């Protein structure tokens, strides 16, 4: 029970950037579960394409730092 190898699961907060199965996402909602037997926080994350996904803490990893970060070049907010 608990995290593998006795390690505590990382806790994230709204606005944190995380990695979900290798893709970057931002935490937009969380529900903390302080159950001592099996602590498992629940999150909703939003990907860069605005898609949202429900995930549990065991599926999240701290953000991976890419070698080069590219912003979207085609932004509707720039069009007139």
Q: Tell me the residue range of the domain where 39 lies.
A: 4-78
Q: In angstroms, rounded to a whole number, what is the distance separating the alpha carbons of residues 13 and 31?
A: 10
Is 60 exceeded by the pLDDT of residue 18?
Answer: yes
Name which of 37, 52, 44 is nearest 13 in CA terms. 44
Q: 28: domain CATH number?
A: 2.30.30.30
* Per-position DSSP letters for 15-37, written without gaps between them: T-EEEETTEEEEEEEEE----SS
Give the global pTM: 0.62
Give the DSSP H or E segment for 43: strand 42-47
Query: Structurally, how many domains does the chain consist of?
Result: 1
Residue-wise pLDDT tens digits, 26-61: 999 999 877 656 668 899 999 999 999 999 988 888
Give the pLDDT confidence score for residue 10 in this predicted structure. 65
């Amino acid at each position: 029970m608990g995290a593998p190898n006795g390690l505590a699961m990382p806790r994230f907060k709204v606005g944190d950037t995380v990695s979900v199965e290798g893709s970057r996402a931002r935490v937009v909602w969380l529900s903390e579960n302080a159950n001592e037997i099996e602590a498992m926080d629940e999150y909703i994350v939003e990907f860069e394409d605005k898609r949202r996904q429900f995930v549990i803490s065991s599926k999240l990893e701290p953000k991976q730092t890419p070698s080069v970060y590219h912003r979207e070049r085609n932004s509707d907010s720039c069009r007139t």
